Homo-oligomer: A and B are copies of this chain.
Amino acid sequence: MFEGSQLHFSGERFSVTYRLAGDERTAKERADDICIEQTVEFPADLVPQGSIREQVFGRIESFSCVDEAHYQAEISFAVEISGFELPQLLNVLFGNISIKPGIRVESIRLSQTLMAAFKGPRYGRRGLRQYAGIEHRPLLCTALKPMGLSARQLAELAYQFALGGVDLIKDDHGLANQSFCPFEERVARCADAVLRANQETGRHCIYFPNITSPADRLVKNARYARSVGAGGLVITAGLTGLDAMRSLADEDAIGLPIMSHPAFIGCFVTSEEQGISHFALYGQLMRLAGADASIYPNYGGRFSFSKPACCSIVEGTCVDMGHILPIFPAPGGGMSLERVPEMNACYGKEVIYLIGGDLHRQGPDLVRNTRRLVERVEEETKRTEGR
């Protein structure tokens, strides 16, 4: 069967660092297993000496102890097996071995040619700042909710938030195409409300509707959003597949900045013993898949991410990945006015703060509440820079 099997590979490889649970022997077995399971998926002893064994098998580049119950292995793969496509790249990183316990993707290191196959985010941090016209401080984003309001009511909320001076307004990711708030009506009304407010304020608040939808309507929804004046898109990439987001980001006829929402795939990161690290999933991979901002639950809020986990996401949004632009970390959940100094100390300027519920908690005047938030963040930024 293997006769005449001659592969002409370039020798270029990309690598993945895995955290492996178990004692040294177990961890080493897991590493060996990854080399086979993620590539040939075939009994290794039945593959003769030759180019499949030499080039297609994964290769352990390093193996080291993390603590007595965890090891770390960097495993490299020939770039050719990725097919230079995101779904197959994800499949090599964490396809079959996602079904095996005790293996977690810590980080990925793409090679030159593989990186060149991806455009990455269209805007990135600098592009989104320019687009929003905010250079000197964190960007502020709020969300339209709760589910159950009509398109007209949500548009009224959007209008008030925009008048108050928030930079970005996103749909809550649970707003889909429900009868009580249909997608097209909602997006048209909210986009219009934000444009009206912008005319009054002279600012450039951007509306990001949630376009997450059935596969056969995603592109249509994105185009519709653009056509009615939406300035960005929210996508729950775990639901649509990461590559669907990549495909929208690459599409010039759409051309809008994208915020990725973290839902559905949260259980990839909730265990330290399996899945994909915060750094890799909500940092590197969302970025590679074209998000300009990666939403994730902030530490100290109603979710359980630790501060180090959040910091590692920030790192993943800006770690060197060649021409793939750095993107915004967008921590949300449990943000409040009171936490602005603490957040500022943690995140600095290169961040999008998502503040939802707390803007409502300050009282019924949303314009004033929003204005206070913007002022609070501006003050805090100045105070820090003055130091």
A307 within 8 A of B: no
Produce 1/0 per residue, A79-95, CB < 8 A to B: 01111011110111011
Which A residues form the contact surface with B (CB < 8 A)? Answer: 1-2, 4-5, 7-9, 33, 37-43, 46-47, 51-52, 55-56, 80-83, 85-88, 90-92, 94-101, 145-150, 153, 156-157, 172-174, 176-180, 212-216, 218, 236, 238-241, 243-244, 246-247, 262-271, 274-276, 297, 302-305, 356-357, 360-361, 364, 366
* Contacts A/B (CB < 8 Å), 23 sampled: A1-B153, A1-B156, A2-B153, A5-B150, A39-B174, A40-B147, A43-B361, A52-B146, A52-B147, A52-B148, A80-B180, A81-B178, A88-B212, A91-B212, A98-B263, A99-B266, A99-B303, A100-B266, A100-B270, A214-B243, A267-B271, A267-B276, A271-B274
- B56 contacts A146, CB within 8 Å? yes
Docked Cα-Cα span, A37 to B275, in Å, equals 23
Within the complex, the shortest CB–CB distance from A190 to chain B, in Å, comes to: 14
Q: Which 5 A-B pairs have the closest CB atoms?
A: A99-B266, A241-B241, A40-B146, A98-B266, A52-B148
Write out the residue numbers on chain B whose beta carbons fall within 8 Å of the beta carbon of A270.
98-101, 274
- B267 contacts A267, CB within 8 Å? yes
Interface centre among A40, A145, A247 (most CB of B within 10 A): A40
- B264 contacts A94, CB within 8 Å? yes
- B357 contacts A46, CB within 8 Å? yes
Within the complex, the shortest CB–CB distance from A233 to chain B, in Å, comes to: 14
